[in-house]
């Protein structure tokens, strides 16, 4: 991994508020899906983004790729602010960042052959002549462990794991530098998931890829990531190098999340640190620190004042009044 | 402690477009009173079909239980009439499902749905059934039970709906609770709450549990005994400690190796080559043999019987007996 002084991707103050209509007379309310986050990813590394339903992690993935427009903030890709670019400005840059989706059954166009699916991104960006397209598509299929005869088949003829490989081949078609993987193995059986994770690791080495790996599955995140960011209700609460985060989590939510994962040792009794209640609504998030309503350590300051997300020690960032 | 449920040689098939899919191909296991039995396997292995077969919820057409015996409380459930089965379901054997939204009726209030189950099986009038409903909702730790009873399913979170399902299914104190992927659709912190609740309810109601899941962590948390399924058959059965410490069947070993463990670092995950067989044209002999690294002579000739390599451990694999190295 080369050391670059500038990260491949740097995000500052990123926000996305989705408006929802509340009755025909009442004022608009907003879902604060992503509410001011900062992070960066270095070339060649894998940043794992983990959190539970409604934390905003999927929205972050879409924002970075400009599949949706940010409400506020900066998205610096190789130094260029994507947030400022319009559709025309962003188009040529899209070659450099791609996505792998969660649902292998919904993310492939059922009316296109595999060759067309994998070849289309190359055509859109003018990267190949029509005549070369199939040859190039075949190379991509080979890279993901599929075969030449698969080029002329349709998605419905493949299993979930194979379809996910096709999705990966498509993501590689434009030789991107960054790939956002949004729950790429959540819909797959354990043994198939293992194949896909191994493949992704191998491709990362082969092609020098950088991954933003989004998942709610903590074991998978631990396996694949170099660094991990934990999200809760639209905010990043903690971010650190993987082993540091898993061995000594600082934020109470991170601790609760890790404690909630069932151990694979039937003899090990669970430590009764179980998080009570449900996640509050992102339409009306709690005041101060959003986690205070479920936090066993909450102080009065936590109700009133939102903690800053800042570096508490080398490489570790936390947003918590108690972590100072 | 006696045997509560005894499944013997269960065969369930589905017919479609001229093909016969052998979803269950001779499944046998016993559940002891007061225990938690886990059925684990990947998509298509037949674990959900097993649960539906026990409750005789397999739709015909296209499905049919073609052979076997399901002994429960001294009777073979396959001999009962549909009316007799209706008094078993919900009262003696209950089931909770993965998606609480699809098993709760969206147009009826929570309270009314539980009252319906109670009045169906118990001789209580409506106001008595209502008090029992509130009691059950409080026992599953639903805050403000009287207010929640008036709400509709869509007004509750996933975790709350699953609590409601548990309350509803335990309201008639069944002997056996079947839980089919009860926490798969839930966030991990909510899953932890629900698992704790299931353990508590098991102690309080002395209910035995048949847990169906692909999640080994949930199995380790809840179960005493585990059976691993592959392509419609049970390939291995053991106590939960044995199955985690000493997986014997090559498929089980492959499955365990494929899991990214929380407490151990692995660089590459073990991979089982090949794919699950087509159950309308299963391979000859042991169904796992085409993918098995240890395959030898007898494997593609006949399905291996259950061998017992150690106490509390059964494996359907010629590596443990009956092969060329054994009598």
pTM, two decimals, is 0.87
The answer for A 156-175 residues in CB contact with B (under 8 A) is: 159
| Contacts with B145 (C-beta within 8 Å, 6 or more apart), sequence order | B134, B137, B138
Domains defined for chain A, CATH in brackets: 44-70+83-277 (3.40.50.300)
d(CA B312, CA B300): 27
Q: Under an 8 A CB cutoff, do A190 and B240 touch? A: no
327 residues of chain B, pLDDT tens digit each: 689 999 999 999 999 888 999 999 999 999 999 999 999 999 889 999 999 999 999 998 899 999 999 999 889 999 999 999 999 998 999 999 887 777 899 999 999 999 999 998 888 999 999 999 999 999 998 989 999 999 999 999 888 999 999 999 999 899 999 999 998 888 888 888 889 999 998 898 899 999 999 888 899 999 999 999 999 999 999 999 999 999 999 999 999 888 887 656 677 888 888 888 989 899 999 999 999 999 999 999 999 999 999 988 999 999 998 654 443
Of residues B265, B275, B241, B246, the one with CA closest to residue B256? B246
B244 contact residues in A (CB cutoff 8 A)? 264-266
H-run or E-run covering A130: helix A130-143
Helical H runs in B140-187?
Answer: 145-148, 158-170
Q: Is B319 helix (H, G, I), strand (E, B) or coil?
A: helix
Q: Under an 8 A CB cutoff, do B218 and A265 touch? A: no
Q: Under an 8 A CB cutoff, do A223 and B269 touch? A: yes
Q: Under an 8 A CB cutoff, do B216 and A264 touch? A: yes
Q: Under an 8 A CB cutoff, do B254 and A219 touch? A: no
Give the pairing type, strands A210-215 and A178-182: parallel
Shortest CA gap A196–chain B (Å): 10
CB pairs under 8 A between A and B: 110
A231 contact residues in B (CB cutoff 8 A)? none
The superfamily CATH assigns to domain B3-92+174-320 is P-loop containing nucleotide triphosphate hydrolases (3.40.50.300)
Shortest CA gap B225–chain A (Å): 11
Pick the residue from chain A with its C-alpha nearest to B254. Answer: A191
Shortest CA gap B274–chain A (Å): 10
* Residue B116 burial (C-beta neighbours within 10 Å; 0-12, 13-18, 19+): middle
A278: nearest CB among B157, B258, B272: B157
The answer for A 2-61 residues in CB contact with B (under 8 A) is: 52-53
The neighbour count for residue A310, using CB atoms within 10 Å, is 11
Sign of the dihedral through C-alpha B85, B91, B93, B95: positive
């Amino acid at each position: 991994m080369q050391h670059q002084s500038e990260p491949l991707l740097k995000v500052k103050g990123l926000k996305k508020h989705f408006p929802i209509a509340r009755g025909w007379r009442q004022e608009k309310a907003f879902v604060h899906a992503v509410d001011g986050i900062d992070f960066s990813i270095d070339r060649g590394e894998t940043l794992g983004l983990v959190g539970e339903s409604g934390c905003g992690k999927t929205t972050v993935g879409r924002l970075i790729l400009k599949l949706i427009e940010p409400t506020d903030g900066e998205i610096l890709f190789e130094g260029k602010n994507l947030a400022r670019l319009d559709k025309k400005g962003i188009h040529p840059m899209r070659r450099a960042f791609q996505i792998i989706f969660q649902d292998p059954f919904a993310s492939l166009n059922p009316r296109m052959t595999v060759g067309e699916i994998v070849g289309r991104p190359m055509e859109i960006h003018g990267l190949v002549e029509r005549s070369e397209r199939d040859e190039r598509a075949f190379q991509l299929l080979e890279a993901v462990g599929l075969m030449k005869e698969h080029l002329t088949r349709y998605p419905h003829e493949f299993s979930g794991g194979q379809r996910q490989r096709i999705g990966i081949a498509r993501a590689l078609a434009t030789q991107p530098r960054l790939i956002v993987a949004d729950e790429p193995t959540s819909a797959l059986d354990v043994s198939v998931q293992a194949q896909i994770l191994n493949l992704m690791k191998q491709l990362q080495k082969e092609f020098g890829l950088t991954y933003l790996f989004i998942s709610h599955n903590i074991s998978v995140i631990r396996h694949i990531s170099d660094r991990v960011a934990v999200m809760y209700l639209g905010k990043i609460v903690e971010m650190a190098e993987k082993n540091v985060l898993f061995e000594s989590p600082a934020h109470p939510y991170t601790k609760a999340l890790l404690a909630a994962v069932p151990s694979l040792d039937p003899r090990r009794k669970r430590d009764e640190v179980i998080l009570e209640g449900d996640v509050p609504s992102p339409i009306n998030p709690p005041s101060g620190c959003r986690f205070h309503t479920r936090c066993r350590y909450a102080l009065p300051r936590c109700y009133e004042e939102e903690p800053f997300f800042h570096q508490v020690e080398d490489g570790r960032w936390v947003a918590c009044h108690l972590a100072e | 402690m006696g045997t509560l449920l005894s499944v013997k040689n269960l065969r369930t098939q589905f017919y479609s477009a001229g093909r016969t899919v052998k979803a269950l191909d001779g499944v046998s296991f016993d559940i002891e009173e007061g225990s938690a039995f886990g059925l684990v396997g990947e998509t298509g292995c037949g674990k959900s079909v097993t649960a539906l077969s026990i409750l005789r919820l397999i739709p015909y057409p296209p499905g049919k239980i073609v052979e076997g015996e399901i002994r429960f409380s001294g009777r073979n459930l396959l001999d009962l009439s549909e009316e007799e089965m209706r008094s078993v379901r919900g009262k003696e054997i209950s089931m909770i499902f993965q998606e609480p939204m699809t098993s709760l009726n969206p147009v009826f209030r929570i309270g009314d749905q539980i009252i319906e189950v109670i009045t169906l099986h118990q001789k209580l009038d409506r106001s008595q059934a209502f008090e029992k409903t509130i009691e059950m909702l409080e026992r599953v730790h639903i805050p403000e039970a009287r207010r929640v009873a008036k709400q509709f399913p869509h007004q509750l979170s996933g975790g709350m709906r699953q609590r409601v399902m548990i309350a509803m299914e335990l309201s008639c104190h069944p002997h056996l609770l079947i839980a089919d992927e009860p926490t798969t659709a839930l966030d991990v912190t909510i899953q932890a709450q629900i698992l704790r609740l299931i353990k508590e309810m098991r102690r309080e109601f002395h209910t035995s549990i048949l847990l169906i899941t692909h999640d080994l962590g949930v199995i380790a948390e809840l179960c005493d005994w585990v059976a691993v399924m592959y392509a419609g058959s049970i390939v291995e059965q053991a106590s939960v400690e044995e199955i985690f410490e000493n997986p014997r069947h090559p498929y089980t070993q492959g499955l365990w190796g494929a899991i990214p463990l929380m407490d151990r670092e692995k660089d590459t995950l073990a991979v089982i080559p090949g794919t699950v067989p087509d159950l309308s044209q299963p391979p000859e002999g042991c169904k796992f043999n085409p993918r098995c690294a240890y395959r030898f002579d007898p494997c593609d000739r006949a399905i291996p019987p259950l061998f017992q390599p150690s106490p509390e451990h059964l494996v359907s694999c010629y590596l443990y007996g009956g092969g060329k190295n054994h009598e």
